[in-house]
Every structure is written in C-alpha cells, then in structure tokens.
Amino acid sequence: MSSPPSSIRFVDRSGARLAYVAQPGAGPTMVFLGGYASDMTGTKASYLDEWCRARGQAFLRFDYQGHGQSSGHLGDGTIGEWRDDALAVIQACTTGPLLLIGSSMGAWVMVLTALAIPERIHALVGIAAAPDFTEDLLWARLDDRQRALIRQDGVIRLPSSYGEPLAFTWRLVEDGRRHLVLRSPLALAGPVRLLHGTRDLDVPWETSWRLAEAIRGHDVTLTLVKGGEHRLSEPHELSLLGATVASLL
C-alpha cells in the first residue's frame, strides 16, 4: 500500500467529507471503486493512477464514508450509502462518459452506480466482484449462534486474511437486502469485463459468473486467473488489469 496522495480534496455530502484524488485527461474518465475496509491508496488504485498518468487518461479515486481519509466510521456505513457516496463524487468531479472499475465490494457499488446513471456508462470492469456479499457470503456462512449474536449486538467480528478481524453490522446486512443485484436481470448494455482468481478464498469465482449471467448485455467477458487470490495484485495480474482497461478505451 502506498502513502496517501498529497493532492487529496474533499466533496461534502449530507454532512460527510468524502476524500478524492482526480487527475484530468482524455475521456472516458476511469473511476476506481474500492472494496470493504479498503481505501484509495491500495495497490490496484495506485497502479491505475500511474497507468492513467502515463497515458494522459482522466482518473478518479476516492474513499467511501468510514474508509481512508473520508469522515465517518466503517460500522455506520451501508451499501446504499456507499453507492450514494460514489454518485456524489462522480457528479462533483467528472463530466462525460465513465469507465467504472470495481474491486470486490466495489464491483457491487459499481453495478448500483451504473444502474443509477446508465447514460454515462462507457464500460465496466469488475475485479474479484462481490455483489450481494452481505447475503450470499456473509449471512449464508453464519451459523445460528452467530446470526443471533449479530441481531442482538448489532455487530459481529470475523477473522480476516489481511490482519485484524473485520466488523460487519446487522445494519449492513439489512441494507444489503434492499440492494441485491443477482436476483433478477440487470439492464447493463455496455461492455463488461470481469477478472477473478481461481484461488480466491474470500469470494468464489462463481460469484463473477453469476454476475455475468445476470447482465442483459451480450458484450460480457469473464477471465479466470489461474492461481489468483482475492486481491489480484501480483505484477502479472496488474498487467492483465491494465490490458483489460486499455482494450475498452
């Protein structure tokens, strides 16, 4: 993970301060949407920032509420709030067509954002996409005792492969049920590219397959990376990401 960029600015939304870094350049503007408990200084966001700078491509990265340099607490956030954060930053900082790139939970936010402003979407790229994860990957894996605990306490902390246990709230689960996207066809007409590792222990690659199947458009490709893990941040995996976005410009 790199250090925080020096050019951070803020968008105000309903009392929240949303941190972002935007660089001008050729369209479509590439927008990176990060994962749960991640931020805009992560490996993939930083790679795309450098990739765009080298090519004169417009690029926007930002932190949801409760993430990175933005205000708020992670435990207060929901999928709907983070979708609205994305829309607020996009509206304030961009014009014209957009190429959205969503990582893990960010791919869920990406889909919801695309459904909200379809007229601006040039293409979508999902990395280890985790739409509906609160229901299919969190709630479905909890036993009866854990389900009772999250209802009673409002939060549950689960082991993480990336350090300290991660907290998930009952509010997040409830709100997630209002924003599920894999239960019906998705009216997304533009090109969609999905990248997923076959050794992803956090989000099975079948989740990206389900997303591909749900999208109504025909220009949808799922690329499986043999041996790839959830982050897909190895040098050859980042090169694949760069080649993928390049093919859509």
Q: Which residues have a catalytic role annotated? A: 104, 200, 230
Lookup: tokens for 88: 């607020």
Pairing of strands 16-23, 9-13: antiparallel
Pairing, β 98-103 against β 121-127: parallel
CA distance 159 to 53: 37
Written as six digits, the tokens of 26 are 């050729």
Query: Which residues, in sequence order, are bridge partners of residue 160?
Result: 163
Q: Which residues contact 16 (CB under 8 A, 6 or more apart)?
A: 65, 70, 71, 72, 85
